Amino acid sequence: MVQAKPKPSYRVGCWLFLRLLGVVYLIAFVSLWVQIDGLVGSEGILPVGDYLERISENTGAERYWQVPTLLWLGHADVALHVLCAAGVLLSLLLIVGLAPVAMLIVVWATYLSLVCGGQTFLNFQWDVLLLEVGFCALFVAPGTTRPQLPWSASPPRRTGLWLLWLLLFKLMFLSGVVKLISMDETWWKLTALDYHYYTQPIPTWTSWYAHRLPGWFQKLSILLTYVIEIGLPFLIFMPRWGRRVFGLATVFLMFMIAATGNYGFFNLLTAVLCIPLLDDAFWCRLLPRSFATWIGRRTPHQGTSNPGRRISGTVPALLAVALIGISALTFVREMVRTAPRDGIGGVTGKLFDGAERWILGWGRPYVLDWVGPFRTINGYGLFRSMTTARPEIVIEGSRDGSTWVAYEFKWKAGDPARRPEFVAPHMPRVDWQMWFAALSPQRATAWLEGLMRGLLEGSPAVLGLLDENPFPDGPPRYVRLVYYRYEFSSSEQKREDGVWWVREQTGLLTRPLSLAQLQ
């Protein structure tokens, strides 16, 4: 009689995943903490107190569901710092492995509170991805209170593993397929990378060199991206070799993206999400044979379970299935809202119309709108349409309305001679939002006015978000927003003039504004 092969175990991968997730949480909290006063503090760009007061004036008790944040208990600056400090402490405890289920719940609630209070500055895909990954991690976390070694832990629940695997599938597949569904010709013609390196939000110095790679290499890179993002995700349904290939290929793609651009903690978080795909046999192959053998002797049998030390029972399994179902709705919604109304016809267009009518027709109002405020089950898709030019907003100040001096940001494109630097996994949120503001100034009016007001008032919190204050003796009397068009310099320009960028002023976005006019 042939003995059936034992199912692969994922103890080591989940043990490592939970600790590295704690590292990502730690980075996210520390990165936000150093900016929180200037972003949403009482003297910041968008004070969270004003935001919550406006909501209170226009809503009743439902505001606690619409904006689920602990800042309802108090929104003074000290409350913001307490939440950031608590997040750092909780992240460290998660890294240690102390009561991981409790830590995951509380750290998720803490970060959700800051995301809701952070308004537009915490509205990035990796913020909501961190919330979703952190919540799904509950289903593979051991229910113990003391730290454990990976080989002494009980095996993670299969429903929890599938929850994480399908989340990675959704993230990667959507990131690839929306590029094609959007009908953006740069993605279809394989020319997107001709523009990407200098039009991305915060390039690095390596972006300048990557921009000059041959055209055939850029096209091949896009094809490889399609293979990894659209094709390989289906390998999670294959035996463990398929999951290994998908996980390692995704880590490789994240490394290459991080090597030529600054995307906060997104690349690190996505790589961490790949770790539960790798089974224990994979990790043992990376260890010395004697150590791997010793671990194998100490590891409990795959079938061994300890119900008292892990979230157990049918309720978590049913909840995981419900989460997968809701996640599928976000999957459909993301594709439907990406497809142009007049750009896709035939059978594909009818499928999208049917999905919107029969799936989202009830799923959006009765399910997605209900869970949406918690930002924990989401759709994804970066760069579904490639920008082919780089507009930039430069903020200038003046004491007399005649002589103007530019404010320099810490990381975004500004002085053409300044080399683009690496800043990830730190997330400079104003620098990022300035990129979006340049693409659509009207949508950024509220916070741009708050930024200019802070500069005219000489707010230390707001000035701390920028590089150097060009008016150290007192704030200027006027500020204005100037529109520029930026491109990477040529090799000759860089060699002769030492500049990384060339720019051309294309107009004034605002007239000179005083503090009285803004108020």
| Residues 97 and 176 reside in one and the same domain | no
| pLDDT band for position 216 (cuts 50, 70, 90) | very high
Tally of domains within the chain: 3
358 part of a folded domain: no
Residue 373 lies inside a defined structural domain of this protein: no
Query: Does residue 370 belong to any structural domain of this protein?
Result: no
Question: Do residues 36 and 80 lie in contact, with contact meaning Cβ atoms separated by under 8 Å?
Answer: yes
Q: What is the DSSP string of 397-448?
A: EESSSSS-EEPPBSSSS-STTSPP---TTS--HHHHHHHHHHH-GGGGHHHH
Residue that finishes a domain, picked among 93, 121, 153? 153
User: Is residue 47's pLDDT more than 50?
Assistant: yes
For residue 478, the model assigns a pLDDT of: 97
**Each residue's pLDDT tens digit, 329-359:** 999 999 988 888 676 666 667 777 787 888 8
Residues 262 and 320 in one domain: yes
In this structure, are 19 and 145 located in the same domain?
yes
Name the average pLDDT for the chain: 91
Q: Indicate whether 217 belongs to any domain.
A: yes
Q: What distance in Å separates the CA atoms of residue 327 and residue 320, rounded to the nearest whole number?
A: 10
Domain final residue, candidates 114, 137, 153: 153
Q: Are residues 221 and 109 located together in one domain of the fold? A: no
Q: Residue 155 has what pLDDT?
A: 85
Which range (222-236, 290-304, 317-331, 501-515) has the least confidence? 290-304
In a domain, 367, yes or no: no
> Do 173 and 250 fall within a single domain?
yes
One domain for residues 59 and 193 = no
Q: Which residues contact 165 (CB under 8 A, 6 or more apart)?
A: 236, 243, 276, 277
Q: Is 161 in the same domain as 137? A: no
Q: What is the pLDDT of residue 173?
A: 97
Query: Residue 241: how many CA atoms within 13 Å on its side-chain side?
Result: 0
146-150, 173-177, 364-368 — which is least confidently predicted? 146-150
Among 134, 153, 172, identify where a domain stops: 153
191 in the same domain as 279: yes
Same domain as 317, residue 168: yes
Q: What is the pLDDT of residues 129-168, one digit of tens each?
A: 999 999 999 999 998 888 888 777 778 889 999 999 999 9
For residue 369, tell me if it sits in a domain: no
User: Domain check: are 30 and 144 in the same one?
Assistant: yes
Helices (H), 259-313: 266-274, 280-286, 289-298
Query: Do 99 and 168 sit in the same domain of this protein?
Result: no
Distance CA 173, CA 466 (A): 37
Across 263-413, the runs of DSSP E, i.e. the strands, are 390-398, 405-406
Residues 13 and 148 in one domain: yes
Asked whether residue 465 is assigned to any structural domain, the reply reads yes
Q: Is residue 411 part of a domain?
A: yes
Q: Which domain holds residue 71?
A: 7-153
